[in-house]
Amino acid sequence: MSVSQLAREIKESSTLRLNEEARILREKGEPVIHLGIGEPKNQAPITAILGSAAKLKTGDIKYTPTDGLPSLKKAIIRYMEEHYNRLVAPENIIVSTGAKQCLYNVLFSIVNPQDEVVLLAPYWVSYPEMVKMVYGIPVIVTPEDGTFHPRMEDIERVVTSYTKAIIVNSPNNPSGLVFSEEFIAEIVDFCERNGIYLITDDIYHKLVFDGKRAPIAYKYTDKDLENSRLIVVNGVSKLYGMTGFRLGWVVAPRKLIEVMINIQSQITSNVSVVSQAAAEGALTGVQSVVESLRLTIQNNRDVMIQELNTFDGVRVPKPQGTFYCLPDFRAYRDNSIELAKFLLRKALVVTVPGVDFGIEGHLRLSYAGSVKDITEGIERIKWALDPESPNEIYIGDRKLVRDWL
């Protein structure tokens, strides 16, 4: 078999490998707890279901404009006004297959071979691979002060004449951190002054806790949209728990959107009209669904942190948003892939190795599932790792005895 050099360079996801192992264990009837999940458990909003069902009922399921239906764009424009305080035109928007395709379209549109894209560790797993897929070079910045909050001085140190873009994801997957107003103001100013694109991946922007709000990059630029370097990526996947509809959007200068439309029209064309109707339903329907999801997840976050705090050796910054946290397990094991494998095999708990996000020695734990899964999952992890915990545990109806500490 002959595989391209580029394809060979794209990493296998250890997340998917662990998911597959977990699936096989579940099929065998093992009581696996999944703390790796990347989507809320809610039902899609009723207005989304009704919107897509009404479209299906017409039987008129055809192509739409590549960049999205005008009525959906109208809903996105309203969303941008309400949540970003920015009036944008339909020509500033492209609707794509999830935030994932949005990011890929953006990178495809702006990155030349060997251009550098700055990524802030911990970063979302797909960023480095996507940059490589457009022949760019991912440049990773790891906060040197041991926190998960990026610092401008670290970023400025790696910026060169090859730097084409910086990706900022706040609220952050995997740490759950929301970056400060001060940092967002600084990085917007830096990018606008230096002609570097600032791609803000805002896919979790309303899943923020304790009455806080995620800073909005637009607030800190005085440039109009057509002359600004800001590019916003968002979508319905996380806020509305509509991951399966596969719908996201980009807001950017029209000239850039035109390029993205050309690219998308040669690859996937439009997002399914059924998904577009669903997204329009979600965006124009009652918004209390987002608030109730947010409150459920905030409660789950509290349970997760309370449980993790019972571990003497584990340190975890309290997440301010998303449905993830990134505890430090180095007191028990340095290699996060080994640790995740160990926890799956011994305790039947799925976690995601921090090394996939550029931070070794940590695990990403998700609290998007049920409170029961969180408490039981952490109890099992504690049993497997902490010599101070009782050495017997019930997993399903089996009593297990720890004999390795």
Contacts to ligand PLP by CB under 6 A: 38, 98-100, 124, 169, 173, 201, 203, 235, 237, 243, 248
Compute the least distance from the CB of residue 124 to ligand PLP, in Å: 4
Cβ-based nearer residue to ligand PLP, 92 or 169: 169
Residue 123: name the closest of 364, 332, 350 by CA. Answer: 364
Count of residues in the chain = 405
Residue with tokens 């050495």: 391
The nearer residue to ligand PLP, 16 or 87, going by C-beta atoms, is: 16
Cis status of the peptide bond prior to 128, with omega within 30 of 0: no
Q: Distance (Å, rounded) from C-alpha 250 to C-alpha 235?
A: 9
Report the nearest approach of ligand PLP to the CB of residue 387 (Å).
Answer: 35
For the CB of residue 215, give the shortest distance to ligand PLP in the complex, in Å: 16
Report whether 93 contacts 231 (CB < 8 A).
no
Q: Of the two residues 203 and 304, which places its CB atom closer to ligand PLP in the complex?
A: 203
Residue 38: CB minimum distance to ligand PLP, A: 4
Task: Give the nearer residue to ligand PLP in terms of CB position, either 105 or 237.
Answer: 237
Sheet hosting strand 93-96, strand order edge to edge: 93-96, 248-251, 230-235, 197-201, 163-168, 116-120, 137-141
In the bound complex, what is the minimum distance in angstroms from residue 372's beta carbon to ligand PLP? 23
Rounded to the nearest angstrom, the gap between the alpha carbon of residue 291 and the centroid of all alpha carbons in its chain is: 19
State which residue has the least CB distance to ligand PLP: 98
31 vs 143, beta carbon nearer ligand PLP: 143
Nearest distance, CB of residue 234 and ligand PLP, angstroms: 9
Least distance from ligand PLP to the Cβ atom of residue 213, Å: 18
Q: Which is nearer to ligand PLP, 98 or 327 (CB)?
A: 98
Nearer to ligand PLP, 99 or 155 (CB): 99
